[in-house]
Structure 1
């Protein structure tokens, strides 16, 4: 949580063979985050090791205005996807540049950027993820890293890693939410026309058979449930809304969303509770009822499991910001 209203500086390090899409994510997401007066919460600076252009994995190069000297003043350093460090040792100049980062600086990788952090030993003994196609290779090359191949992103406090492409958007939105709350993150998502929240534990979209167009989906049942989070929502009701048996619905739900219907409902209720705690004066019991937890004790249990904090502490933290 960023308690100081001073501009939080995010430095994005562009390395050779960077993927342009991933390189642009931090500027797009963090650059859209503002307070009610339109004042930016973040300053985003992009650099290369020597200030010179770098080759991308597209048919063009990227030119930036800064070299690695700006890393020393960063509050957060983001390393977008790059092939640097994937198939060989990390170049000395890259390691030297990252050695200038201040202790305690938040470190973030998008997709294959995890190899850079792993090469420096910064992921040793810590959970991390990368694109599912490279997860096993990352584990083999860096056996001390606790690779989680089946999640969108991992938040381990001061070190955060994401899977490929759109998962980088999810991670950056998560960081905005962690820093400034759901209201700011949701506004950023609306401005960028992206989903406001996909939980980090949601499954990556690994190879599965493409669903036939006529095959039923659980999307309508999920949309129906989101309008009734304050009510008991049973598996039989959800399956009925989807026109499926319990067994088929449960299997297809997990295929589409990556978690069970029960786990998904809890996550949606946690998000609703967070929003109500941040944006209303409702008492804790009232928030629990509106979010579908029934009692404050039940909500307290689920918030602590999901966020590591109590409802009152969460509310005080975001009100203070």
Structure 2
């Protein structure tokens, strides 16, 4: 592979149904960097790539992958669509000769189809992570990661995580100063490490059964109270063993694990919409002392409560018209 002493060629491979935002991330970030040479390519037989309200014409066919130092594949809509044999062969050949392969969002599926993620850690958008794991069980799917750098193959979650990964590539290639400069131009955080979690809508799993729905509703209304498995079983009018079995059947997890996720979900809501102190949030959600709240956030989200608040509070206020200073009730 060529080094950045010469122009580093980045080939953006456009697949049918490409998501325009993910495509724009790759082309804008690397198209504006003078030490990179950007080429947009597609399957020779595909013609212009069409989407709802847009058409992308490309500079090259798959021959661009024979010279690219880095191949970036933006996400695409239909993850069930199989890539062409030509695309799969071109990706395998590019990897074999030493090119760096990068997927954004759902493009992890095309790398998986090529067998290039077998035995490797990888991520994709959290909504598609279970499907990636089911279809390709040899992959170490890590759904809570923003991106995974596995050396010559890198994968990211959706949309803004693609920005994080592209900035990470610049940081690896050219150093922190260059990456921070590009981040300022994009008005993006200069560095979110790949180990930081994707911020899914809620941590607690949706239930597939209703027999323990009243118990779960009561738990959500009483997050601040201490709970034990025996107490929950008595409230459900079941034996401990039966309650544990049914809870797992309906949610896929244990009552106490579900409770922790529910408490963190409530804490996230308060961090996004209020300026309530961490100490009070720990009390009303049942997470406990500030140190316990911080430990729970680092363990489940890969960031601190304050880091989470800094990232989301302003956006939530602008969107909803809320003002800081509102306090939650003592009943979570």
Q: Mark yes or no: TM-score above 0.5.
A: yes
Distance 2:273 2:123 in 1: 34
- The match for 2:302 is 259
Per-residue deviation, 1:131: 0.4
CA-based RMSD of the aligned residues comes to: 3.0
Distance 1:207 1:111 in 2: 17
2:165 is paired with a residue whose SS is helix
Whether the 8 Å CA contact 2:297–2:303 is kept in 1: the answer is: no
Per-residue deviation, 1:94: 2.1
- Describe the shift of the 1:41–1:247 C-alpha distance in structure 2 as closer, same or farther (beyond 3 A): farther
* Structure 1 stretches of 4+ moved >6 Å: 242-246
Per-residue deviation, 1:98: 2.7
- Describe the shift of the 1:215–1:252 C-alpha distance in structure 2 as closer, same or farther (beyond 3 A): farther
Per-residue deviation, 1:255: 4.9
Distance 1:198 1:207 in 2: 19
TM-score (norm 2): 0.63
Per-residue deviation, 1:31: 2.9
- Describe the shift of the 1:125–1:215 C-alpha distance in structure 2 as closer, same or farther (beyond 3 A): same
Per-residue deviation, 1:66: 1.5
Whether the 8 Å CA contact 2:126–2:200 is kept in 1: the answer is: yes
Whether the 8 Å CA contact 1:2–1:179 is kept in 2: the answer is: no
Structure 1 unmatched runs, 5+: 34-39, 219-238, 265-321
Whether the 8 Å CA contact 2:19–2:77 is kept in 1: the answer is: no
1:17 is paired with a residue whose SS is coil
Residue from 104, 109, 115 that aligns with 1:115: 109
Per-residue deviation, 1:53: 0.7
Per-residue deviation, 1:2: 7.4
- The match for 2:69 is 75
Whether the 8 Å CA contact 1:129–1:161 is kept in 2: the answer is: yes
2:60 is paired with a residue whose SS is coil
More deviation in 153-162 or 200-209?
200-209
- The match for 1:215 is 274
Whether the 8 Å CA contact 1:151–1:163 is kept in 2: the answer is: yes
1:160 is paired with a residue whose SS is strand
- Describe the shift of the 1:15–1:244 C-alpha distance in structure 2 as closer, same or farther (beyond 3 A): same
- Describe the shift of the 1:188–1:99 C-alpha distance in structure 2 as closer, same or farther (beyond 3 A): same
Per-residue deviation, 1:65: 2.2
Per-residue deviation, 1:59: 2.3
- The match for 1:127 is 121
Whether the 8 Å CA contact 2:294–2:304 is kept in 1: the answer is: no
Q: Deviations over 1:192-219 (max 9, x none)?
A: 111101110111011136725652367x
- The match for 1:26 is 26
Q: Deviations over 1:118-162 (max 9, x none)?
A: 111100000000000110110010000000000100000000000
TM-score (norm 1): 0.66
Per-residue deviation, 1:260: 5.5
Q: Deviations over 1:220-258 (max 9, x none)?
A: xxxxxxxxxxxxxxxxxxx57x99779354537855992
Whether the 8 Å CA contact 2:146–2:157 is kept in 1: the answer is: yes
Whether the 8 Å CA contact 1:47–1:68 is kept in 2: the answer is: yes
Q: Which has the higher contact order (CA 8 A, sep 6+)?
A: 1
Residue from 92, 98, 101 that aligns with 2:85: 92
Structure 2 unmatched runs, 5+: 203-264, 308-332
Please tell me whether Structure 1 or Structure 2 has the larger radius of gyration of its CA atoms: 2
The count of corresponding residues between Structure 1 and Structure 2 is 235
